[in-house]
Structure 1
Amino acid sequence: MDERKVKNRNTEFSAKISSRFWQEVPNDDNPYIADNYRCQGYDLTQLAEKRSFTETLYLLFRGELPNQQQNEILQKLMIAFINPGPRHPASRAAMLAGVSKAAPSQLLPISLSILSGEHLGAGSLEKNVRFFRKNVAKDPKEIIADLHLQLSNPSPSNWEPIPGFGMRFGSIDQFSKKIAELLLPLPGAGRALKWGALLSEHLQEFNLGWLPTGVTAAVLSDLGFHPKAAVGIFQLISAPGLLAHGLEMSGKPLTTMPFLEDKDYRIEE
């Protein structure tokens, strides 16, 4: 018989769930339903009437409404990376789920689970934001010097030797570079984005540059988002495109997607 004593942990649990950023105003007749909601103290119906989605998103996570410059750069970032594109593994997952007759409610969960990974995914965002916060005061040349030997001996075609910077399919990601250049002249462009642009310039000699996760991390860092919040916001930014790819394939025959032959598979040793 087990004679170990059971100890009382003397833990007092909260009597109710509380939130510091969200308030529900209960109905007079039924307290289980709300007559209205307040986000960070702002009436949600008034936000819906007078504010944009990006302004409300910023308010939800940062506790205050953004100024015009902050809202502009966040909005352009969300438009620029609204879809990872059909080459991205998460988009392919959405397409395969759609053509496989998965329920529409499952398309996003399936594809977002893939987008949660480290490779060009939300799983790298926390690390990337922390990288900018830690290194933004350094000379970008210091980063290059510390990794010069590694950078001079490139790895596979999809490589990220520096958080948020690397290569795609053996080349610099031209679209991410273009988006960074689009955002840089904006009044809302901050220190991390400008520092990342300098680092990207120095990396070109190694055939490396911005990645989508790097541009996103730099902007979210400048806007003051917590590194952990950046993970989910990157998923949110990409979700519409993933859903669209999945829905496009829903109802189509399996033959719509390519079926790779054995010779097209490569097993890394």
Structure 2
Amino acid sequence: MTRKHDEVRSRNETFVERVTTRIWEEQPSSDNPYLAESLRCHGYDLIELAEKRSFTDVLYLLFRGELPSKEQSQILQTLMIGLSSPGPRHPATRAAMNTGIGKTDPLHILPISLMTLGGTVSDAGVIEEAIRFLRKQRRADPETVATELLAESSRPEQEDWILAPGFGSLYGEVDPFCNKLANTLLEFPGAGQALQWGSEFAASLKGQNLGWLRAGVAAAVFSDLGFHPRTGGGLYQLINAPGLLAQGLEMANKPITAMPFIKDENYIIER
């Protein structure tokens, strides 16, 4: 039997001689060109940034190419604290805890839990879509959008109802902490149009036991701060990472009996 192969063709592409970046600049050492004498992030000396600015400011600088205003830094830092850990009920945290107590290499705790956090229902995997949703609807009346979406959808029998990216129910109810976090952020001078629109939209859904989800609050702030939609998911993972790692490491030195063992009757095999 003779196999036929597609004709091999040249792509006629010319590759660059070296990698270029607008983000980072390294001044080589006079003694060893492979070592950096000084580092600059978007033109700012890194040591000077370390002396005068916060980590939040530098994070913003890395992705936006400019330092944030006081108001922008304040609202981003508040979001980062509010979302610093998904909490032990969250599947990503459970993954971190199971990884830790299973005596997996501690270096693997964070990557494993972040993959779990990448879900497309209400976590990092939906951030890009949520930012685009908020930007698309920013000139529409929130109550009208809510009415139209409710008319087009129906409540699932078992799963949570995700009406729009970043908005829905958690265990069948409105997430009270997300609502508090969004209201806190709204009080800051840096609160923008997306956060305000999202708050009004969430209020219109309250009668259906729907509202803000963690991804929605993050997406609104990211949108107002000018982050590109494709950046949002990774930023969300970064913000949640400290809590995931801490919870996983907490279990790393405990015996396996410190986590519950699921009984046979709790396993469901679908045929």
**What TM bracket, shorter-length normalisation?**
over 0.9
Paired residue type of 2:206: Q
Distance 1:56 1:159 in 2: 37
Alignment match, 1:249: 251
Q: Distance in 1 between matches of 2:124 and 2:41?
A: 25
Q: Deviations over 1:42-84 (max 9, x none)?
A: 0111001100001011111111111000000000000001000
What residue is the counterpart of 2:262 in the other structure?
260
Paired residue type of 1:139 = D
Shift of residue 157, structure 1, vs aligned partner: 4.4
Displacement of 1:142: 2.3
- What are the Cα deviations for residues 8-54 of structure 1, in whole angstroms up to 9, with x where unaligned? 33221111111011111111222112111110110111001100001
Residues 85-234 of structure 1: pairs in structure 2 closer than 5 A: 85-150=87-152, 153-234=155-236
Establish whether residue 82 from structure 1 lines up as the match of residue 79 from structure 2.
no
Distance 1:201 1:5, change over 3 A: closer
Identical-pair percentage:
52
Distance 2:207 2:5 in 1: 68
Per the alignment, residue 29 of structure 1 pairs with: 31
Deviation at 1:212, TM superposition (A): 0.6
Q: How many residues are paired up?
A: 269
Q: Retained in 2: the 8 A contact 1:85–1:91?
A: yes
Aligned partners of 1:221 and 1:227 also within 8 Å: yes
In the alignment, is the contact (CA less than 8 A) between 2:167 and 2:210 conserved in 1? yes
The alpha-carbon distance between structure 1 residues 171 and 31, as it changes in their structure 2 partners (threshold 3 A), is: same
Change (3 A) 1:4 1:266: closer
Q: Which runs of 5+ in 2 are unaligned?
A: none
* Matched residue type, 2:133: F
Kindly state the Cα deviation for residue 4 of structure 1 after the two structures are TM-superposed: 6.7
Higher mean displacement: 19-28 or 256-265: 256-265
Deviations 1:216-265 (A, max 9, x none): 00001000001111111100110000001100000211111111123223
Give the TM-score, by structure 1 length.
0.95
Q: Specify the alignment match of 2:73 in structure 1.
A: 71
CA distance in 1, matches of 2:41, 2:224: 23
Runs of 4+ in 1 over 6 A off after TM superposition: 1-4
Asked if the contact 1:115–1:121 (Cα under 8 Å) also holds between the matched residues in 2, the reply is yes
